């Protein structure tokens, strides 16, 4: 081999093995997007007060009081199998747990912070038990990890509500602790994805995010990472850090090009709150449908109570969603969004030669949708195979639904067409 070829070979070897060049293989994303529906879990000692995790520190709950709650945190009714079963019963395919939220408390026995579950009365590895239960029940496991940490003295901002509490900090040491904790979580629990959060404060830079992303890739290049490790951008470009977009408390726009996941609460607060307002079944189903119809995933949040149980009313709501998914799940899982952009009257998902029209509102049992140029509808029916009348012209397609409709949460009409629906351009 000539010296020149030898140098090229060495360069290629360096680039291929060095962490700075590595990104999550794009081939990993379709598997994630096909899951469509996951459970988000916000949990920690703050459930003893019923106020918001992180944000109520030095607000509704005095900082010293908040930071001592772990000494009485003892969720003795925590049962990882029960949480995972609740997710499975809802038709969810993955689960993401707040291993460490902005208050810095760690739900796993980390060697890098004394502020962790083993120094509470509970003394059990909540992250580890959930990882094991997910594996046992076939649910994909993910970990939420905060970028900012208002409890760690190396992080300069100690509380967003009171800048007088701030300290000099040491970002080099802070990032080393983050790397050490992430290595524990990755090597011990093998998460499918890491859900970062808390990128927005001044001490954290996009370069810091890139550094941590590269470090994660050097340990396991296949782990999915959301777009909240760097300074988040509304699109994925060469400046953004991470693999998918994360609209929060709203349904993302129809986007056929970039993977995205909306995170939305089943109630109003992320962590458990007594008598919090819970979404109706219709709202839950239509949120999931509109997310899938936008070509996105829904990470739907529950907040377990201080004793470790998920409220029974939330369990029942999740079961109702699961019953709906038992009938209609094939119009959600493994589908693509579109070709129609979701609106308040209807939304659409598609797979193969079928377009699933999810009807939320109809005018006397008729639904009018824009025509699809060069597409011929060969058959139209409800999910229970009741025929649906179709009249189409150059501008519109009019569907006449049968008098009795099966599901006012979402009346699903299947349109079979003369081509692969994924080739149909988006119709705004």
Total residues interacting with ligand FHN, rule: CB under 6 A: 7
Query: 96 vs 133, which CB is nearer to ligand FHN?
Result: 96
Angstrom distance (rounded) from CA 40 to CA 90: 12
Q: According to the binding rule CB under 6 A, does residue 145 interact with ligand FHN?
A: no
Closest CB 248 distance from ligand FHN, rounded Å: 5
Question: Is 143 near ligand FHN (CB under 6 A)?
Answer: no
Work out the widest C-alpha separation in the chain, in whole angstroms.
80
The binder of ligand FHN chosen from 54, 209, 242, 294 (CB under 6 A): 54
Residue 63 CB coordination number (10 Å): 18
Residue 322 binding ligand FHN, by CB under 6 A = no
3-state secondary structure 269-322: CCCCCCCCCCCCHHHHHHHHHHHHHCCCEEEEEECCCCCCCCCHHHHHHHHHHH
C-beta of 148 vs 310, nearer to ligand FHN: 148
Instruction: Report which of 38, 25, 32 is spatially closest to residue 262, judged by C-alpha positions.
Output: 38
Q: Which is nearer to ligand FHN, 48 or 347 (CB)?
A: 48
Q: Are strands 261-265 and 297-302 parallel, antiparallel or unpaired?
A: parallel
- Looking at the Cβ atoms of 20 and 200, the one nearer to ligand FHN is 200
Residue 103 interacts with ligand FHN (CB under 6 A): yes or no: no
Distance CA 389, CA 260 (A): 35
For residues 175 and 242, what is the distance between their CA atoms, to the nearest angstrom?
17
Site for ligand FHN in 202-261 (CB under 6 A): 248
DSSP for residue 164: G
**Cα–Cα distances in Å, from 312 out to 82, 87, 325?**
12, 13, 20
270 binds ligand FHN (CB under 6 A): yes
Give the shortest CB-207-to-ligand FHN separation in angstroms.
21
Q: Which is nearer to ligand FHN, 53 or 380 (CB)?
A: 53
**Binding of ligand FHN at residue 197 (CB under 6 A)?**
yes
* 263 contacts ligand FHN (rule: CB under 6 A): yes
Contact residues for ligand FHN, defined by CB under 6 A: 53-54, 102, 197, 248, 263, 270
């Amino acid at each position: 081999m000539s010296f020149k070829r030898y140098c090229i070979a060495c360069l290629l070897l360096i680039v291929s093995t060095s962490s700075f060049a590595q990104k999550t293989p794009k081939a990993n994303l379709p598997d994630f997007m096909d899951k469509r529906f996951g459970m988000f879990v916000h949990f920690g000692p703050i459930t003893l007060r019923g106020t918001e995790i992180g944000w109520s520190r030095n607000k509704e709950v005095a900082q010293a009081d908040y930071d001592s709650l772990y000494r009485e945190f003892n969720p003795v009714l925590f049962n990882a199998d029960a949480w995972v079963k609740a997710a499975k019963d809802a038709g969810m395919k993955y689960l993401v747990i707040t291993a460490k939220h902005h208050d810095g408390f760690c739900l796993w026995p980390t060697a890098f912070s004394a502020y962790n579950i083993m120094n509470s009365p509970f003394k059990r590895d909540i992250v580890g038990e959930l990882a094991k239960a997910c594996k046992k029940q076939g649910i994909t496991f993910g970990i939420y990890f905060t970028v900012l940490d208002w409890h760690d003295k190396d992080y300069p901002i100690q509380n967003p509500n009171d800048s007088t509490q701030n300290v000099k900090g040491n970002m080099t040491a802070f990032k080393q602790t983050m790397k050490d904790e992430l290595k524990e979580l990755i090597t011990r629990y093998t998460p499918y994805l890491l859900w970062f959060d808390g990128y927005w404060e001044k001490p954290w830079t996009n370069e810091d995010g890139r550094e941590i992303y590269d470090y994660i890739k050097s340990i396991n290049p296949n782990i999915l990472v959301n777009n909240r490790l760097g300074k988040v951008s509304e699109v994925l470009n060469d400046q953004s850090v991470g693999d998918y977009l994360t609209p929060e408390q709203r349904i993302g726009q129809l986007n056929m090009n970039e993977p995205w996941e909306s995170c939305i609460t089943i109630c109003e607060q992320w962590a458990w709150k007594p008598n919090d307002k819970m979404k109706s079944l219709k709202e839950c189903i239509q949120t999931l449908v509109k997310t899938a119809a936008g070509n996105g995933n829904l990470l739907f949040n529950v907040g377990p109570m201080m004793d470790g149980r998920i409220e029974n009313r939330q369990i029942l709501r999740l079961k109702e969603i699961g019953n709906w998914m038992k009938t209609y799940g094939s119009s959600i899982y493994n589908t693509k969004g579109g070709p129609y952009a979701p609106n308040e009257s209807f939304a659409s998902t598609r797979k193969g030669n079928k377009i699933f029209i999810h009807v939320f509102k109809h005018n006397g049992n008729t639904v009018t949708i824009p025509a699809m140029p060069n597409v011929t509808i060969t058959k139209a029916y409800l999910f229970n195979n009741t025929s649906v009348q179709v009249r189409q012209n150059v501008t519109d397609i009019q569907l006449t639904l049968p008098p009795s409709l099966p599901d006012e949460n979402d009346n699903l009409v299947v349109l079979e067409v003369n081509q692969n629906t994924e080739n149909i351009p988006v119709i705004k």
